[in-house]
A and B are shown apart, each in its own frame.
Chain A
Amino acid sequence: MSPELIVFFLLAALSVIGALSLILQKHPIHSALSLIVVMVSLAGLYLLMGAEFVAAVQIIVYGGAIMVLFVFVIMLLNAGKEEHTDFSKLAKFGGLPLALALTGLLAAAMIHNGASVSNNATPDALASTTKISMLLFSTFVYPFELTSFLILVAIMGALVLAQREKKA
């Protein structure tokens, strides 16, 4: 049991507990906080794999921006406990089993095939921000520009949505 393996299992357990908590909590704010736990543990896992830049971005953007946004919205809308309604028979009886089946299928596939995926840990020198940025601006320059465009569109969309209704 190498130290890495122990850390991995700890972080993995933390993320799974966080995900379970997201499902089981009744109040959305608790679910949001559970999600933050998951994200932080995932950032830890990225670090374990040697992807520092991605880990940093995960914390900053995901944890620091997106989740904050979620929390703001929850507070803004005064979201309370979930009311329990069951208007869809399909969702009531089939939802959980099907989703669990999906989980099981993916897990089985990973177990069966995953053993063949090789394991070449990244030496520190390689996974540097410099290398990533070089990739980003050479091979992936088009997607990069498109994502900036996407963000622009999102901003405009958010602006439009946030407008007050004009009283005619």
Chain B
Amino acid sequence: MSVIIEIPTPLRRFTDNRSQVEIPTQEGHTVEQVLRQVVEAHPSLQRHLYGDDGRLRSFVNVFVGDEDVRHLDGPQTSVADGSRISIIPSIAGGRR
């Protein structure tokens, strides 16, 4: 089994310019486990996905197919063979 992680343009500089990374998975693997595997394979992604507290940064969103995992089981959402996982920012900011 494996899943495909789609890497957004700004983060491709940390994945040898690859737009997709294939991650081998097993039955019952979760989004959180898959993301940890991506970061293990490409450690410089760590600080741009996770904060100092080890949690996903608040503006980093993960989609399985067309569904935001926040509307599924969050990081514990299980993935299936061939799932396409997208890492998508919510763009937040402003003065102060």
Real binding pair: no
**Chain B interface residues (CB < 8 Å from chain A):** none
